[in-house]
Each structure stands twice: as C-alpha cells, then as structure tokens.
Structure 1
Amino acid sequence: MYTFSFQNPSKPDPAGDDSGVDTSSKRKGVPETCLVCGALTRGMHFQVASCRACAAFFRRSVKAKKVYRCRRGNRNCDLTKPPNGKPICRFCRLQKCYKVGMRLENSGTDETVLVHSNTCSTESSYSGSPENTSYLRVVNGNRLERDVDKVIQEIREFFKSNIRFGAMNVPSGVHATPFQQLQYAFSKFREEMTPSTPVVPVHTYDKLAVYPFMEEYAKKSAHMMMSCDPFVHLCPEDKYKLFKHAWPLIHYLERQFSSCEIFGYDIDDLRFVITDKVAIHAVNSQVYVDGMPQEKVNELTKFCYPLKQGMFEMITVPMKQLQITQFEVCYMVGLIIFDTTEVRGLREETKIIGEQTLEQFSSELHNYYTYELKMPNYAARHAKLIRLISGSQQLSLKISEYMVMAKVFDIFITDIYESELIA
C-alpha cells in the first residue's frame, strides 16, 4: 500500500546544485557509476547515483512534460553505447530515470516539495468533481441512473460532417496517407487522454467518477476517426455503426498500452491508468460507488473478477511480452475501425472502402517492419497483434454479458451496455 508523508519545505542545501545533487565532501572522492547511462559520477542526483547530464535531462523532460518516441521502436535501447556517436535514445533514457528511482519531488527544493504536497492530496483518493458527476446517481442501492442520449446525439451530429477533423502541419503540396493521418490523430488523442505528468495509484476511487471520462473518451475517439479521409467520406449512419463497435475495443488496447508507457512492461506490475488524471493498482486500490452500500460493491467486484482476470490474460500479459510500439497500436486501431466484417448492415460502398483502407494500412506496417525495425520475418509478431484485437473483442462481449447477468441477479443494474453508445 502506498503511504504519503507531508513535510515542511526544506531549505536548499548550499552545497547542492539545480539538479538536486548531493555534493557533500564525504562523497567527492568515491566515483560511482551512473545508474542510467553507466558514466562515472561523484554525486547523488534526485536521491540516485547519476551523472549531471542524466539529471539535467530528467529535470528538463519532466518540467517540460516531454513525450519521446523510442528510436529503435523496441523500448530497450542500450544506453551505455550511443550509436555512432549520436545521443542516446531519449525515450529509453527517461524510462530508465524513472525505473532507477528518480523523482522530481525528491530534490528537496521549495518548489518541488510544494508540488509533492499538492499532488499527494489528490493521489490518496479520487472522487471526481461534482459538476462531472451531478447527472450520475445510484438509486435503490444498486441501480445506476445515467443518461447517455446527449452524448449519442452529439456524436451522431458530428458524423454528419464530410470535412476532415483536425489539420496536419505539412508543407504545401505534400499529401498525407490515411495511415499517417490516423497516426497524427492517435498521437493527439493520447496526449489528451493520458496523464501529462507522472501519476501514483490512488488508494480509493469512486467508480462513478470514471464515467464522465469514458464519455469524453468516446467523443475524442469519434474526432480521431474523423481525422482519416476514408472514414470522413462514409455515410453518417455507417460512421456511427463502425464507431460504436470500435471505440470500446480501442479503449481496452490504448489504456493498457498507455499504462505500459507510463509504468513499464513488467508483467508483475499491476498499476493501470484509468483516466487522464488517475491510476489504480489492480490489487491495492479499493473501489467504492457513491450511494451504493459497500457490501453490494464488494459483491459486484467479486462477481466481475473473471473480467479482470480475462483482461490480464488476453491483453495485459501479451502486450507486455510483445513490448508493443505506438505504431503497432495505431495499426490495430486502424484495423478495428475499418474492419467491416464485424459490423452488420453496412453499405456495399462502405465495405469496399474498408477493404481498400486495410490494404493500405498493411502496406504501411510492412514498410515499418522491413525498413525501420529491420524485421523481414514479422509473421509471428503480426499474428500476435491480431490476437490482441481478438482478445479485446472477447472482453467487450464478456463485459456486456456480465452486466446483463448482474442485472438479472440484482447485483448491479445499468442500461448503458444495452444503449446505442456500445454495440
């Protein structure tokens, strides 16, 4: 269980420097190895034996909320051997800084201690803001009243447009491919939907406070889909059919990928990001529902345990073992959006556009594996991506089935999984 301590801001050590280094005389004659890059160092930065270069890089990256991409795409670069004299991979360097224990709030300055105090007050529990949850309520102990018609109508109106959403900053005369458009939109989507700063799993959280985020997630997913030309040119009704099938699957895969990006790929690490501000621990974090007796909440949690186990086995473990890249996640998102075989009642024109778009996406993936990752034999890896999509589809069906059973057994009653927002 995580514990937090609130201490008075300490005065900065005159012997320290801007990177939070301990330069006391008793350490000056004892060279150590930087835990990040392997270079020799004689000081402690952010409570960790590290060189000044890595400490300065960590401070700049965290302060500026930098988002990096792994140079090689495998998120396991050797930081002790820069390639041909080039700078080491910034993504892997920042991840290593977090892994060895660097934390900006531990530097001891007035500024960072105050940041620590402010964030801890929100990390111990999460209940959401009243304005976001005012239209959510539980009545009769286990019935969730939640009106999603407004969200559905807003998305349907948005899909009536035939103008691409969001513009890419490309030179005049340069045409972006549909997959490049989706890549750009997916990157922007993740910037809005994932925490911009390091997060610590909360001790307790109100399940109702997560629903407003889910609705915003659905709307942002619609924006992302409308950033891709082939989708824009479909008829509004087919757009919505593809959307309501796709966005829950995208949610399962993207949330797990973002959790891996933030917390790493250790299979035993059970931390998981659930909103753009909140992360939980699958075992230690306790859930409650405002207005619902805790006995009922515990009963629902126990009833839904197989769903949590299924997500771990079908999505979490395979994704962490694969050490998937954002390019591959975006490819899966594209496959989910334009997979017309899984959606009934689509026009023939829509099916043709979907098939042509998937062929283009497959060519982009081939080029990525062949020329960027230098992986000519990628059939096994591609098969694992398809299994991840299949796992998300199975999970989506299971969740709907379990919510129906929970309604039948009077454990928890909600109509959202039978609404037009979810297929």
Structure 2
Amino acid sequence: MDVVSTSTSPFACKICNQKAHGNHFGVISCRACAAFFRRTASSKWSKMGCRGGSCDQDTYSCKPCRLQKCRDAGMDTTKFQYSRDNIPTVGQFQLPPPSIETYVGRPEFLLFCDTDAPNTKVLIDVRYLLEEAGRILNNGNESPIWADTQLKKLAHAYKFIRVDFENMKMIQHADQKNIMEMWEYYFITVTKWLMYFDEFQKLNRHLQMTLLQSIWHVFQKLHKYVSTMAYRKANPYAKPSHVIIKDLFMDINNVSMDSSWMSDYPHEHVMRYLMVQTCHDFDIIGTLLEIDPTEVELTYLFAQLCFEYAGKRYQGDILKVTESFQEILANDLHHYYVEELNRPRYFLRLAKLLKVNSAIQKAIWESRPKMELGRVFNVLKIDYSHPEMFEDSGFY
C-alpha cells in the first residue's frame, strides 16, 4: 500500500514563532518552549524580573522574560487545553489564545489532522488524547469507592455508561468533527470506567495503556446497542431505525455522513466498507430488550467483551491478565446471582447475554479480511500516530 507522507503541524509556536509540535500546557508551542516551561514554571525564575532590563521582545534571551512570555501566551501546568470561551479582563492588551478545538476546528485531544493538503493521507495524532488518559490514571478516583465485590465496584462506574436522554442531541448529518468527538468520548469514558476496577489499577502503565488502546472501540460497539435498547425501552413508539451513539440521537434512515475527508472513493462505496462489522445475523437490541439486564449484568457484559477481545488479540501477558480479570468478575457475578438475586439457575440467562458479545466479536473477526483488502486499495486515506489504537475499529 502506498503511503503518502504528511506534515504534523502547520502552526507556529506562540512563544518563539518557530514550528510548533503540538498543544503543550494549553498552548500551541514547540517542544523546546514546552520543556523550558516545564523546568522553570515553579523555579526561582518565576519570582524574578527581567535580568537585563531591556530584553528583545522577539527573542527573550532572559529566562524570567521567556517564562513570562509563556504565561502571557496562556501556559499553565494544570492545562492540556486553554479554557474555552475565555473573556479577557479589562486592561489586558491581547486576547488569550482560543482553545485547540476552536483554533483548529476539531476535537480537543485529537491533533493534528491536515485534511486540506491535496493527494495526501489524513494524519490523526492522538498523543494528547493519550496524555489526557495518563492524567486520569495518575489522579485516580475523586473519592474512595466501597463495594463487597469487584464487579459491584465497577458497576458504580455505570454512570459513565448511562446516557442522559434528557440532554441528547439530534443529529442529521455526521462529519469529521462528529466522528473524532466520538473517538475522544469513548476513549476517555473507558479510561474513567476502568479506574473503578482495582485489578486494572494494579497493572503497570504499559499494560494499562495497551488495554485502553485496544478496547475503547469494542466498548463503543456494545455501548451503541445498550444505549439504543435503553432508549427503546423508555420510548415504546421508537422506530427500529432510531439509534443512540454517545449522546447523539439519529434516525439511520434520515442521516447523512460526509466521507470526503477520509476517502477519495465514492460515498456509497465508503459507507459499505464501514458497515462490514455490522452484526446482520443477530438481533442484539431485541435480545437485550427481552432479557432486560440490570446495571450489574450490563457492567459484566462490557467487561467480559473488552477483556476477552484484548486477550485474543494480544495473547501473552495481556491474555494472562485479562483471563484473571474475567475469572474474578465471573465469580462476582455468580455471587450476585446466587446471594443477591436468589437465582442459582442463571445459566440460560447468562448464555443469552453472552451471545451479544459473541456476535460483536464474530463481526470483528470476519471483517478483518475485508478491512485488509480495503487497506490494499487505500479505501481510507487516514494515517494515525498510534495505528494500534485503531485496529479493528472499522476506520483502519
């Protein structure tokens, strides 16, 4: 497959006007200025004035002046993105830089995407999304969570999975921004969700990030079915064409999608290619409506799907870890059925639930040859900074 090279950033550093490499501490900047700010933000230079008395405004060779320039541009050690809709106070000489999303017209953590250059691949750099996930992992949960089993503790995080139907947005046209916001939403949601699982927190950072990068899109597939099931349960007159993705409501019979940014092929061919992972032979939403699972059961369903997929994909250490996770959660589910629901004969119910996961995984495995063929013919003109994160996502 021919891969056309792309540039990573067309923007200049807000501090030194050299070529920027990304969003550092809330400001478009180069790595040198970002490293300087990281070293000096809390140093003695932060309390000192200009050492020479008349530093050149463009070069700022004096460290206190260069540090002040970083702060004036909006750099802050607590930021990955400058505050949205910031209004300057009276007396400021210039507006603070806008948010990354506002500046480039794309979601905040997915940088950069050069979709304007002709005959080139679209480069999607997710380094800053991974940085945000790392921040969440470092900070941990806001408050201690207590539960008598790991499964019930993980079920406390169902608040990240549950859709707020009162604040859903209707969408009739999906474009590049919508797709990228969806990726960002599910990656961050999975990160927050897994922070409620003690066994996940015990892993080293490499294993944690490997799991997150591999399961977010599998989680997304099940979330679409579960959210749509919940919507149809609450709305008896909902149509079969009504679907919930993230916090968006759409009628698939009346929604259009812009595929020009991701492919040079005709739109109908691209849409057919993106649909290869659809579960045509199994009514997932109908099964979920029939069983009407509890939040604890749905939590187990999400965990079992994600961990089984990751184990099969990576084998080795990941397989050992995910098998131990599944054993712990299976024992917890047994306790939940027998001790709390007084339902020792739960095998048939659980078997029906797990058919949902089997159908999703089957669709993924069977799509692989078609996706590989699509890469041979360059159906999608997308390159990723971390391609392993998008394998089996349907956009790789």
Q: What range is the shorter-chain TM-score in? A: 0.5 to 0.7
C-alpha distance after superposition, 1:65-93 (max 9, x if no partner): xxxxxxxxxxxxxxxxxxxxxxxxxxxxx
Q: Is 1:369 aligned with 2:328?
A: no
Taking the aligned partners of 1:207 and 1:270, their CA distance within structure 2 comes to 22
In the superposition, relative to structure 1, how do residues 197 and 283 fare at CA in structure 2: closer, same or farther (>3 Å)?
same
Taking the aligned partners of 2:325 and 2:264, their CA distance within structure 1 comes to 48
Q: Which amino acid in 2 is paired with 1:178? A: Q
Q: Is 1:396 aligned with 2:364?
A: yes
C-alpha distance after superposition, 1:137-194 (max 9, x if no partner): 54547953322233234435655x4x74342465xxxx64322221112x23125xx3
Taking the aligned partners of 2:142 and 2:123, their CA distance within structure 1 comes to 34
**SS of equivalent residue, structure 1 residue 415:** strand
* Deviation, structure 1 residue 196: 4.7
Taking the aligned partners of 1:419 and 1:409, their CA distance within structure 2 comes to 18
* Deviation, structure 1 residue 285: 1.5
**SS of equivalent residue, structure 2 residue 257:** strand
Aligned counterpart, 2:124:
146
In the superposition, relative to structure 1, how do residues 288 and 264 fare at CA in structure 2: closer, same or farther (>3 Å)?
farther
Aligned counterpart, 2:141:
165
Aligned counterpart, 2:373:
405
Q: Is 1:386 aligned with 2:354?
A: yes
Taking the aligned partners of 2:286 and 2:386, their CA distance within structure 1 comes to 29
Aligned counterpart, 1:257:
226
Aligned counterpart, 1:245:
214
Indicate the larger mover: 215-224 or 132-141. 132-141
Indicate the larger mover: 315-324 or 224-233. 315-324
How many residue pairs end up in the alignment? 283
C-alpha distance after superposition, 1:329-367 (max 9, x if no partner): 10122324554742536549x83x655543342233224
Taking the aligned partners of 2:119 and 2:295, their CA distance within structure 1 comes to 42
Superposition pairs for residues 127-142 of structure 1, below 5 Å?
130-132=105-107, 135-136=112-113, 138=115, 140=118
In the superposition, relative to structure 1, how do residues 142 and 386 fare at CA in structure 2: closer, same or farther (>3 Å)?
farther
Taking the aligned partners of 2:197 and 2:120, their CA distance within structure 1 comes to 41
Residue 234 of structure 1 is aligned with which of 195, 203, 207? 203
Taking the aligned partners of 2:306 and 2:273, their CA distance within structure 1 comes to 31
In the superposition, relative to structure 1, how do residues 220 and 169 fare at CA in structure 2: closer, same or farther (>3 Å)?
same
C-alpha distance after superposition, 1:288-331 (max 9, x if no partner): 236578972222113344433x2673634433443333221101
Taking the aligned partners of 2:129 and 2:118, their CA distance within structure 1 comes to 25
Residue 266 of structure 2 is aligned with which of 284, 296, 305? 296
Q: Is 1:155 aligned with 2:133?
A: yes
Aligned counterpart, 1:190:
161
Q: Which amino acid in 1 is paired with 2:129? A: V
Taking the aligned partners of 2:260 and 2:381, their CA distance within structure 1 comes to 15
C-alpha distance after superposition, 1:100-125 (max 9, x if no partner): xxxxxxxxxxxxxxxxxxxxxxxxxx
In the superposition, relative to structure 1, how do residues 372 and 142 fare at CA in structure 2: closer, same or farther (>3 Å)?
farther
Q: Is the 8 A contact 2:123 2:384 kept in 1?
A: no
**SS of equivalent residue, structure 1 residue 273:** strand
Q: Is the 8 A contact 1:136 1:208 kept in 2?
A: no
In the superposition, relative to structure 1, how do residues 143 and 319 fare at CA in structure 2: closer, same or farther (>3 Å)?
farther
Taking the aligned partners of 1:232 and 1:299, their CA distance within structure 2 comes to 43
* Deviation, structure 1 residue 219: 2.1
Aligned counterpart, 2:246:
275
Q: Which amino acid in 2 is paired with 1:263? A: R
In the superposition, relative to structure 1, how do residues 347 and 201 fare at CA in structure 2: closer, same or farther (>3 Å)?
same
Q: Is the 8 A contact 1:300 1:411 kept in 2?
A: yes
In the superposition, relative to structure 1, how do residues 201 and 311 fare at CA in structure 2: closer, same or farther (>3 Å)?
farther
Q: Is the 8 A contact 1:182 1:330 kept in 2?
A: yes
Aligned counterpart, 2:150:
178
Aligned counterpart, 1:78:
none
Q: Is the 8 A contact 1:203 1:285 kept in 2?
A: yes
* Deviation, structure 1 residue 386: 2.3
Q: Is the 8 A contact 2:311 2:322 kept in 1?
A: no
C-alpha distance after superposition, 1:45-83 (max 9, x if no partner): xxxxxxxxxxxxxxxxxxxxxxxxxxxxxxxxxxxxxxx
Q: Is the 8 A contact 2:150 2:332 kept in 1?
A: no
**SS of equivalent residue, structure 1 residue 298:** helix
* Deviation, structure 1 residue 205: 2.2
**SS of equivalent residue, structure 1 residue 284:** coil
Identity percentage over the alignment? Answer: 18
Aligned counterpart, 1:325:
294
In the superposition, relative to structure 1, how do residues 311 and 141 fare at CA in structure 2: closer, same or farther (>3 Å)?
farther
In the superposition, relative to structure 1, how do residues 255 and 247 fare at CA in structure 2: closer, same or farther (>3 Å)?
same
Structure 1: tracts of 5 or more residues without a match: 1-127
* Deviation, structure 1 residue 418: 7.3
C-alpha distance after superposition, 1:367-423 (max 9, x if no partner): 433455554322122122222222222333455554443332343222359713245
Q: Is the 8 A contact 1:406 1:413 kept in 2?
A: no
TM-score, normalized by length of structure 2?
A: 0.59
Q: Is the 8 A contact 1:254 1:329 kept in 2?
A: no
TM-score, normalized by length of structure 1?
A: 0.56
Q: Is the 8 A contact 1:142 1:292 kept in 2?
A: no
Aligned counterpart, 1:206:
175
C-alpha distance after superposition, 1:19-66 (max 9, x if no partner): xxxxxxxxxxxxxxxxxxxxxxxxxxxxxxxxxxxxxxxxxxxxxxxx
**SS of equivalent residue, structure 2 residue 243:** strand
Taking the aligned partners of 1:237 and 1:169, their CA distance within structure 2 comes to 25
